[in-house]
Amino acid sequence: MEPRFINRYTMTKEMIREFQWKVGRFNVLAILCAVAVVTSTLSAIFNTGSGRFSLLIFTVFFTALLALMFFMNANGTWKRIVEQSGGAPREETVAFTEEQAYNDSAATGGRVNIDYASLKKVIVTKNLIVLKTKAKLGYILRRDSFVLGTEEEFIRFINAKIALNSLK
């Protein structure tokens, strides 16, 4: 069957960072909010001069550590992607037919089929469209990289496919 939509792009480190920051399991904002709640609670319990100073140092240190972990994780993911594709950034082509989607990846040299029944939601960020599956995988598309179809048409199409999944 002929594709209705094709998205072709070269993976970049910035895409990995945006994906992990906005979509990935390592949700930095949620963790920072949890640290703020714990710190506020501890501050209320130990409301002394030296206690407040210690909690401030702890909060700054822990926040810096989380930011470092985020960048190390994004850089590690980027290095794996480049290594898998032979030392150069990989080109991805994701096509969508009426029946299913498929990803032709330079990293694997093969085709990965994406069943619409496995899709759970669509997340749109500044530069990306991410298709999340029930297994918590994320398929990344660049918003500005449709070589067949448009971003707006695609979002309507894929949301309709996901809505059909919820009716089954």
Dist. CA 141–CA 125, nearest whole Å: 10
One domain, residues 112 and 70: no
- What is the reported pLDDT for 129? 94
Dist. CA 89–CA 81, nearest whole Å: 7
- What is the reported pLDDT for 32? 67
Contact 101, 143 (CB under 8 A): no
Query: Which domain-ending residue is among 46, 65, 84?
Result: 84
Report which DSSP code applies to 110. E
- Region 39-65: mean pLDDT is 66
Query: Which domain-ending residue is among 84, 105, 127?
Result: 84
One domain, residues 116 and 57: no
Inform me whether the pLDDT recorded for 25 exceeds 60: no
Tally of structural domains, the chain: 2
- What is the reported pLDDT for 81? 65
Query: Which domain-ending residue is among 84, 103, 133?
Result: 84
pLDDT band for position 44 (50/70/90)? Answer: low
Inform me whether the pLDDT recorded for 45 exceeds 80: no
Q: Which domain holds residue 64?
A: 19-84
One domain, residues 129 and 61: no
Structure tokens at 127: 């530069």
Contact 100, 115 (CB under 8 A): yes
pTM exceeds 0.85 for this model: no
One domain, residues 79 and 36: yes
pLDDT in tens, 106-123: 556 677 888 899 999 899
Burial class (CB in 10 A: 0-12, 13-18, 19+), 65: exposed
